[in-house]
Amino acid sequence: MDNLCHPKDGASTKTGSSTSFDSATLSMLNEVHSLICQAALCEGTDRQNKVLEFKHPQQLKELLELHISDDAASKEDIMEICKKVIKYSVKTAHPYWCNQLYTGVDPYSLAASWITEALNTNQHTYEAAPVFSLVEQHMIQKMCSLVEFDDGDGMFFPGGTMGNMVGIHLARYHYDNNIKKSGMFTNQPLVIFTSQEGHYSIKTAANLLGFGLDNVVAVKTDGIGCILIQDLEEKVQLCLKENRIPCVLVATSGSTVLGAYDPLDECAVVCKKYGMWMHVDAAWGGGALVSKKHTHLCKGIKEADSVVWCLHKMLGVQLQCSAMLVKKKGFLLECNSLKADYLYQKDKFYDTSYDYGDMSIQCGRKADGFKSWLMWKAHGDLGMEARVDSAFSLARYMEERLKATEGFRLVLPDFQCTNVCFWYIPPRLRGQTESEEWWLEINQIAPRIKQCMMEEGSMMIGYQPLHCHGWKNFFRIIIANPLLTTSDIDYVISHIHDKGKDL
């Protein structure tokens, strides 16, 4: 047996280079940082520059030189690659990226995400992530108080879809907690109700969780996209007649296309009557909760059993930052806990109730909460409120402008959220009988304008049909980027006309 040396000062036997971050490595990181600041942030948000430099997949493959060889690339090669990656990536912080529910880059949230990456933390346990565990729960409690969950808890998940899945999973456990043990093989079919305009993640959940797509019942909506309570109740009753169990209603606060807010108070009455779990998908529209002026849109959210709210959408936190809030404290843990021996040991010397990971359906988790906390600290409650209020007022401005501008037709007379949906009608199609053929022509206008905008890199705005209302392709612009001004809105309108007038 060898003898061990027992130094009083353990440090004396610590050897090896003192750090892996030598000056060449640090200089590479500095260079990347400068490149990011210049090319991605400054140039990438400058209106004079393109939103994207579009290339078709085959062209871009060649430009990127994807192949990895046996040998290391030089530092110069790596810098060239980084430049190309930024050049050909879409600038989602650019004011004319209005394509999806996320937009903009907040510098404080970005700073937080860089720190998170450098610390490369996995937020499963307090021992691995002491700061981030506390920060996450602080944010969760802040959000619980905004939805008036007096004794709630929750955590972050990677994306609203995951959050909606967990909401439905909790609903199932609430209906029959034996499913955790025995599975759902002997259950009568369990049914998920949601608006016909609800997000497709509800179907994803039905597929993954074993409910099946047939057990997602789409409830009709009214003329502005809100769930019809009468149709909900009729469908619940029909379901009961068919010996299927109404398990959960997923109500929506801010639907993906129209931005509609379901009437949560009325939803809650139906849920209570039939013993259904009420989950609110406030992934997009939850942002209204920080605004005294707009929080009424979510009225009744306190009646929910669980809520998903993505801070990376309207509030502009870095992707991804999706909070799952649960009214009944401890329920998420009870539903998901598996007490893995190698992570959640109970013989640790600190208070292991801070090892939050056992509440999750993930094992490894990114420290998403921190990105929202630092940003929120930096702007304060009032700053976050102002951001939301400004987006809403700009959306109302755009509505007014569209109403007043020839060739544009709003899909709805008014919108509840900061989505604005509209058709552009080129001069040659104006003033005609709106026959089926006419609509088929209109159906091609938005895709063609979008193609044109993407090819020249000028702007990105989403379009889609909405079959449940029989509507052909229309534009849906999302107003959330804090850089947007009324002049930008004027420009967007004139630009669409410019690209579409000869179609």
> Hey, which residues between 119 and 178 contact a second copy (CB under 8 A)?
119-122, 126-135, 138, 142, 158-162, 165, 169, 172
CA dihedral sign, ordered 196, 202, 204, 206 = negative
Can residue 92 be called a binding residue for a second copy (CB under 8 A)?
yes
* Span from 144-152, 196-204, 298-306, 426-434 in contact with a second copy (CB under 8 A): 196-204
Q: Rounded to whole angstroms, how far apart are CA atoms 407 and 501?
A: 9
For residue 412, the minimal CB distance to a second copy (Å) is: 16
Tokens of 65: 């030189």
Asked if residue 171 lies in contact with residue 249, where contact means CB atoms within 8 angstroms, the answer is no
Contact residue for a second copy among 410, 438, 497, 503 (CB under 8 A): 497
Can residue 419 be called a binding residue for a second copy (CB under 8 A)?
no
Binding residues among 25-44 for a second copy as defined by CB under 8 A: 25-26, 28-30, 32-33, 36-37, 40-44
Contact residue for a second copy among 232, 391, 466, 480 (CB under 8 A): 466
* Span from 230-238, 326-334, 341-349, 429-437 in contact with a second copy (CB under 8 A): 341-349
In 3D space, the residue among 299, 308, 231 whose CA is nearest the CA of residue 270 turns out to be: 231
Binding residues among 219-278 for a second copy as defined by CB under 8 A: 256-257
Q: How many residues are present in the chain?
A: 503
Contact residue for a second copy among 140, 426, 473, 479 (CB under 8 A): 473
Can residue 61 be called a binding residue for a second copy (CB under 8 A)?
yes
Binding residues among 378-407 for a second copy as defined by CB under 8 A: 378-383, 401, 404-407
Instruction: Give the phi and the psi of residue 423 in degrees, each rounded to 5.
Output: -100, 145
Q: Rounded to whole angstroms, how far apart are CA atoms 146 and 295?
A: 9
Amino acid (1-letter code) at residue 197: E
Instruction: For a second copy, give the closer residue by CB, 138 or 273.
Output: 138
* Beta-sheet strand order (sheet of 153-157): 153-157, 322-326, 306-310, 277-281, 245-252, 190-195, 216-219
Distance from chain centroid for Cα 33: 26
Contact residue for a second copy among 145, 222, 234, 340 (CB under 8 A): 340
Contact residue for a second copy among 148, 305, 498, 500 (CB under 8 A): 498
Residue 16: half-sphere exposure toward Cβ, Cα within 13 Å: 5
Which residues are CB-contacts of 235 (< 8 A; sequence separation ≥ 6)?
193, 217, 219
Instruction: For a second copy, give the closer residue by CB, 238 or 440.
Output: 440
* Span from 204-212, 217-225, 266-274, 428-436 in contact with a second copy (CB under 8 A): 204-212
